[in-house]
Amino acid sequence: MGSLLASRAAVWDAFTTTLFLAVTAGVLALLVGTLLAAMRVSPYAPLRTVATVYTEFLRNTPLTIVFFFFVFVTPSMGFTFAYKVAAVIALTCYTSAFVAEAVRSGINSVAVGQAEAARSLGMSFGQNLAIVVLPQAFRTAIPPLISVLIALVKNTSVAGAFSVLELFALSKRLTNAHSSDVIAILVGIALCYLVICIPLGRLAAALERKAAFAR
Amino acid sequence: MSSGPVLYDVPGPDEKRRERRVSWVVGALLVVVLVVLGWRLASNGVFDDRWRILVEAPPNFAGYQVQDIWSAVFRGLLNTLLAAVISLPLAMILAILLVSLRSAPWRGLRWLASAVIEIFRALPVVLVMLFGILVLPGASPLVAVVFGLVVYNAAVFAEILRAGISALPAGQTEAAYSLGMRSGLIYRTIQLPQSVRMMLPSLIAQGVVLIKDSSLGYIVGYAELLRQISRVADALTNADYLLPLLAVGAAVFVTLNVLLSRLAVWVQRHGRLQRRGARVARTATLVEE
């Protein structure tokens, strides 16, 4: 335990890096994912195809491969990113596919009459989606979206293996330096993740119950 | 909302023309983006001889055959899948144990089981793998990978099964009690089997996650796909070869997981049809009586 307390400044730094990755990638993924979901239900076939291929591909690829691509492979293609930037890009690409699926299932759960009524009022596709359907879709999509964000927080740990010094990378470094204190260090780092993830999970469960009552 | 477009009207002739126009514009824009990107990539030599690695080894490495490359890549893939195949049944068994403890008649056990589930669901899999390799005595990388996958996925499977049990109609349990069955027997023969069946699509979806997560073994030094690919590129001292090799690996993963996801969808549809059939049959006999 002592070695963890001794390096608490480093732990705090790593904790904020984890949070930074999660928040930045989370916000970007929410935006990109919503856009993808809108593309998937749009009347324009090319947009639908692009969005479908993107989500299917990234949902079924391991995150490690996405990271590997943006960290090691793109430099050989003429694009080089700083490690942190590469991490944010990889996490955003990966997470946005899951966001898109969650939002799309939310869209599917909106009662058909809502969209029909909006159409009968003469609303265009864009108005229909932005004013009527998406606001309701987000309400049902919030619990699954929170699950996606929890997964994102945990996935930031993969960045630790690709040269970003966040909690997981720090745990590797500390356990290397203090091999007698391994269990305490790992438990301490695990607590840092639990502090983020468990409240989020509780929030999702509470919101789910609330939504279930509302319906 | 899957049956026909609801968000926009069924297009009339004018709208159809407009739609086609927009589709063409969007398609053309996409093509332009792709061409610019392709040109940019081509000027960096992405389409040059690096793809030849998939058919022949570079000439300046004596004794390095293309078979070596392919066998290295496929050994990596097999190792990845091996970890997944070992973990899947173990995780399922542990999950059934956990979810059973969670509805055990002793409060202490219930509390313990739900704490374990909650904690391990909230931990990154790589951290658990690191724990495995550092703390488990004499653990090989494979054991660490399996440890991480089993612990995490057992917790998730347990949650899925619990959701299935609580979604069962109360009449199932009540009917079993009225037949004089004890709670343990009801749990084993009524609740759990129906929950597994009802949640099969979710369980398969989580299986896809497990297969994907097995590639995290890269981080703890397990000789899986990515590790093997970077070894090949290191041996040939050329990072350019990473792209074609990674493309092969990603293609295999995507194919496998898309097939599994299709299976989940099929199981869902099939299960629903079967249940509906069963209900119809029952009504028929009622009418006859």
Burial group, residue A3, by CB count within 10 angstroms (0-12, 13-18, 19+): middle
pLDDT exceeds 50 at position B158: yes
SS3 category, A199: helix
Using the Cβ of B269 and the Cβ atoms of chain A, whether some distance falls under 8 Å is answered with no
Spell out the domain ranges in chain B: 68-288
The whole-number pLDDT of residue A210 equals: 76
Compute CA distances B279 → A106, B165, B272, B273, B285, whole Å: 29, 20, 11, 10, 10
| Alpha carbon A76 to chain centroid, angstroms | 27
DSSP summary character for residue B65: -
Q: Are A5 and A187 in contact (CB under 8 A)?
A: no
Res B250: pLDDT? 85
Minimum mean pLDDT range among A27-31, A63-67, A75-79, B145-149:
A75-79
**Which long-range CB contacts under 8 A does B28-36 form with residues at least 24 apart?**
B30/A46, B30/A50
In this predicted structure, what is the pLDDT of residue B280?
45
Token pair, residue A84, equals 């942190």
Q: Are A159 and A170 in contact (CB under 8 A)?
A: no
Give the pLDDT score at B281.
Answer: 43
Q: Which of residues 48-87 of A touch B (CB under 8 A)?
A: 50, 56-57, 59-65, 68-69, 72-73, 75-78
pLDDT (mean) for B199-212: 88
Please answer whether residues B211 and B263 qualify as being in contact, where contact means their C-beta atoms are separated by less than 8 angstroms: no
| Contact status, residue B147 vs residue B136, Cβ threshold 8 Å | yes
CATH tag, B68-288: 1.10.3720.10
Residues A48 and A114: beta-carbon distance below 8 Å: no
pLDDT band at A5 (very low <50, low <70, confident <90, very high): confident
Per-residue model confidence (pLDDT) at position B57: 67
Q: pLDDT (tens digit, 9 = 90+) per residue, A15-24?
A: 999 999 999 9
CATH topology of domain A2-214: MetI-like fold (1.10.3720)
For chain B, the average pLDDT equals: 82
Domain boundaries, chain A: 2-214
Task: Please tell me if residue A155 touches chain B, with a CB cutoff of 8 Å.
Answer: yes
**pLDDT at residue A170, as a whole number:** 93
Q: Hey, which residues 53-72 in chain B have their CB within 8 Å of chain A?
A: none
pLDDT band at A98 (very low <50, low <70, confident <90, very high): very high
**Alpha-carbon Rg for chain A in angstroms:** 20
